[in-house]
Amino acid sequence: MREACTVTRWILLCRAQFMERKAQKPPSPPAMENGTRSWEERPPADPVATVTEGAAKIVFPSANEVFYNPVQEFNRDLTCAVITEFARIHLGAKGIQIKVPGEKDSEKIAVDLSDQEEETAGKNENLAPGDWPRTAAVGEICEEGLRVLEGLAASGLRSIRFALEVPGLQSVVANDASARAVELMHRNVELNGVAHLVQPNQADARMLMYQHQKAPERFDVIDLDPYGSPAPFLDAAVQAVSDGGLLCVTCTDMAVLAGNSGETCYSKYGAMALKSRACHEMALRIVLHSLDLHANCYQRYIVPLLSISADFYIRVFVRVFTGQAKVKSSASKQALVFQCVGCGAFYLQRLGKASGDPGGRIKFSAACGPPVTPECEHCGQRHQLGGPMWAEPIHDLDFVGRVLDAVTTNPGRFHTSMRIQGVLSVVTEELPDVPLYYTLDQLSSTIHCNTPRLLQLRSALLHAGFRVSLSHACKNAVKTDAPPEALWDIMRCWEKECPVKRERLSESSPAFRILAVEPRLKANFNIREDANPSSRQRGLKRFQANPEANWGPRPRARPGGKAASEDLAGRRRLLQNKRKEPAEDPAQRAARLKTFPCKRFKEGTCQLGDQCCYSHSPAAPVASGDIPIEECPETTTKISPGPKAAAGGIPGPGVD
């Protein structure tokens, strides 16, 4: 009875705080017992900022105690769209139709049912009028709906948006290890009136997921958006998601995944990342490989639905299934990458091989390789070895088409709808069975020639009988099934139209060796109509510019926070290039250069006078045309001649 009174008192105080904006005393940290909250009488501290995003409105403290990044609104919008379509499929098999605000009821009936779901729909036609159709609306509890877990919820914004924008939910657990974050979540949940759906919880995300390993207790959707790498949470996540459930993972440690620290990437994801122009797509495939590897330990496997590289992070949506037979084929879905350090040509080597026998059974064996010689056949340079990475398609184009159709027909649902349409349109145009890509500037800079237009190169590949597409991960990407020798033949033909001065090329350079071979393929650079993709013709917002100044990852949330009045931008400028030598003062630079002979006027009279920053000390005894050292008024520092200068009259060391 006493606990109920304290809870009621706290709720009344919170409502009074928001409605009347009266100051309250700061809260004391709540005591947590077995993942539940023991409430105290004092309400949370006053926030100073209000954030409105989507249908949610949250209050936010000025101190950096709880993490929030407004740049990731696209991430949260896309997640709401993906979970909505997943709920449509998941509940459609149970005969439940979801109702999305702003969407007509008849728009989604025909496209949301698979063959199995259509059979279920046909059986349900004989139900009584009161039983059919069953619907699930936004903000209502659906008893057969999705159970969602946001493992690292911070302010709870994402979970609140799920409750307000995604229909067909049974419950949403908003978890965070920070007591301050859980306090803020409780406050925002009450503010938005979603306490019946969203359950704030304080616990370690890994321990919480490990406690839900049993099949009846698993979550249908798990969302992981950590600060940095999600590697510590993947093992628990693949066990806590239900069979056929949805796992959403964000990675913001792009420096590691893009090849700046290959050994660190291996320690976190079990793969070696390479520095290449296709590093963003390779990062996606490394994360998918890591997810599948963790799932295989428990006789589970993944099926990617959508994999996005955007801004400073990557985002993957995968379904997790259980099946020992399908797990055996996982090795054949992974591949190593051989990449030439000279010309950038790459080749894939599968780890396993799956082949069928006459009896219809599938036989698994080790793959044969490698696919390359010790030296690159095009430029003679060595190869780097990267991976393993996911070599199968990274998108389910049918599912992506459903999400794209839903966003296109209801553009007012999200603030970033135009960008979602543009990115997903490019995704649907990508070649699904072609891993990685080249870039236009990479191909032209390798042979030091002028860069052709993107449509010219795409047309040449199409004329040659190859497929080609763009990539959402890079603006000037060339994703094609053409082998490297055909690609370089096309570039050799282009170089003949825009010749390179061969005398300036080193004989050991990749450009010299590539251009020394005559092309066997005659390229046609006439523009084809199908060379211009539909998303480009329609002018969609495919590649967004920086959304704001100083955009990117935000500082990590810390206990106690940091005052908002502190000049973070000035601190960033102060810490930029902190590992490099500080800028040299002009006066110090002039004094340093005075110790070296004049580089320009080694003989004769210098007309610069005091403006010359170099010394005019002669390297040898004064000869005809030389000026004695005492006649040079600007000389301020004498240097002692080195051994060579004393012996042979050679001047002292110069400046690089």
Angle subtended at Cα 13 by Cα 52 and Cα 164, rounded to the nearest 5 degrees: 30
Q: Are strands 438-439 and 474-480 parallel, antiparallel or unpaired?
A: antiparallel
Name the least confident of 95-109, 336-350, 568-582.
568-582
Task: Give residue 115's pLDDT.
Answer: 45
pLDDT higher than threshold 70 for residue 153: yes
More confident call, 579 vs 628: 579
| 638 — pLDDT class (breaks 50, 70, 90) | very low
Q: Are strands 438-439 and 468-471 parallel, antiparallel or unpaired?
A: unpaired
Residue located via tokens 């099934």: 481
Q: What does DSSP assign to residue 518?
A: P
Q: What is the mean pLDDT of residues 474-491?
A: 94
Amino acid at 619: A
Task: Give residue 605's pLDDT.
Answer: 64
Task: Give residue 633's pLDDT.
Answer: 38
pLDDT higher than threshold 60 for residue 565: no
Among 337, 350, 348, 334, residue whose Cα is nearest residue 276: 337
More confident call, 651 vs 416: 416
3-state secondary structure (DSSP) of residue 361: coil
| 556 — pLDDT class (breaks 50, 70, 90) | low
Task: Give residue 273's pLDDT.
Answer: 95
Beta strands across the sheet bearing 383-390: 346-350, 334-340, 383-390
Number of C-alpha atoms within 13 angstroms, CB side, residue 25? 7
More confident call, 167 vs 565: 167
Question: Distance between CA 76 and CA 84 in Å, rounded?
Answer: 12
- DSSP element (H, E) containing 455: helix 454-463
Amino acid at 537: Q
pLDDT higher than threshold 50 for residue 588: yes
Tell me the sheet residues that pair with 224: 249
Q: Phi and psi of 238, rounded to 5°?
A: -70, -15
Question: Distance between CA 93 and CA 119 in Å, rounded?
Answer: 9
| 134 — pLDDT class (breaks 50, 70, 90) | confident
Number of C-alpha atoms within 13 angstroms, CB side, residue 596? 13
Question: Distance between CA 591 and CA 574 in Å, rounded?
Answer: 26
Task: Give residue 304's pLDDT.
Answer: 97
More confident call, 105 vs 516: 516
pLDDT higher than threshold 50 for residue 651: no
Task: Give residue 625's pLDDT.
Answer: 42
Q: What does DSSP assign to residue 113?
A: -
Q: Which two tokens stand for residue 143?
A: 């008893």
User: Percent of the chain at pLDDT above 70?
Assistant: 72
Q: What is the mean pLDDT of residues 112-119?
A: 44
| 71 — pLDDT class (breaks 50, 70, 90) | confident
Task: Give residue 623's pLDDT.
Answer: 40
Longest dimension (CA), the chain: 116
| 103 — pLDDT class (breaks 50, 70, 90) | confident
Model confidence over 251-293: pLDDT tens digits?
A: 999 999 999 989 999 999 999 999 999 999 999 999 999 999 9
Question: Distance between CA 35 and CA 203 in Å, rounded?
Answer: 6
pLDDT higher than threshold 70 for residue 460: yes
Task: Give residue 654's pLDDT.
Answer: 37
Q: Which two tokens stand for residue 343?
A: 């010309």
Task: Give residue 48's pLDDT.
Answer: 61
Average pLDDT, the chain: 80
Are 56 and 160 in contact by the 8 Å Cβ rule? The answer is yes
Question: Distance between CA 393 and CA 304 in Å, rounded?
Answer: 8
Are 165 and 98 in contact by the 8 Å Cβ rule? The answer is no
Task: Give residue 321's pLDDT.
Answer: 97
Are 289 and 271 in contact by the 8 Å Cβ rule? The answer is yes
For 294-305, b/e burial (b = at least 16 CB within 10 A) is bbbeeebbbebb
pLDDT higher than threshold 60 for residue 123: no
Q: Are strands 198-202 and 169-176 parallel, antiparallel or unpaired?
A: parallel
More confident call, 106 vs 582: 582
Among 242, 230, 248, residue whose Cα is nearest residue 82: 248
Amino acid at 310: A
Task: List C-alpha distances in Å: 391 to 308, 318, 334, 350, 354.
Answer: 16, 15, 5, 8, 14
pLDDT higher than threshold 60 for residue 37: no
Question: Distance between CA 17 and CA 11 in Å, rounded?
Answer: 10
User: Percent of the chain at pLDDT above 90?
Assistant: 57
Tell me the sheet residues that pair with 334: 390
More confident call, 26 vs 355: 355
Q: Where are the domains of the chain?
A: 436-538
Task: List C-alpha distances in Å: 551 to 71, 545, 563, 573.
Answer: 7, 11, 19, 14
Among 73, 479, 530, residue whose Cα is nearest residue 281: 479
Q: What is the mean pLDDT of residues 229-247?
A: 96
| 371 — pLDDT class (breaks 50, 70, 90) | very high
- DSSP element (H, E) containing 551: none
| 15 — pLDDT class (breaks 50, 70, 90) | low
- Strand ranges inside 289-332, DSSP E: 300-310, 313-322
Q: Phi and psi of 355, rounded to 5°?
A: -135, 150
Task: List C-alpha distances in Å: 96 to 109, 121, 126.
Answer: 11, 10, 15
Name the least confident of 2-16, 294-308, 414-428, 585-599.
2-16
Model confidence over 191-221: pLDDT tens digits?
A: 999 999 999 999 999 999 999 999 999 999 9
pLDDT higher than threshold 60 for residue 639: no
Which are the contacts of 118, defined by CB distance < 8 A and separation ≥ 6? none
Among 293, 284, 271, residue whose Cα is nearest residue 317: 284
Name the least confident of 157-161, 410-414, 587-591.
587-591
Task: List C-alpha distances in Å: 260 to 257, 271, 287, 293, 482.
Answer: 8, 13, 16, 23, 28
- Strand ranges inside 177-213, DSSP E: 198-202
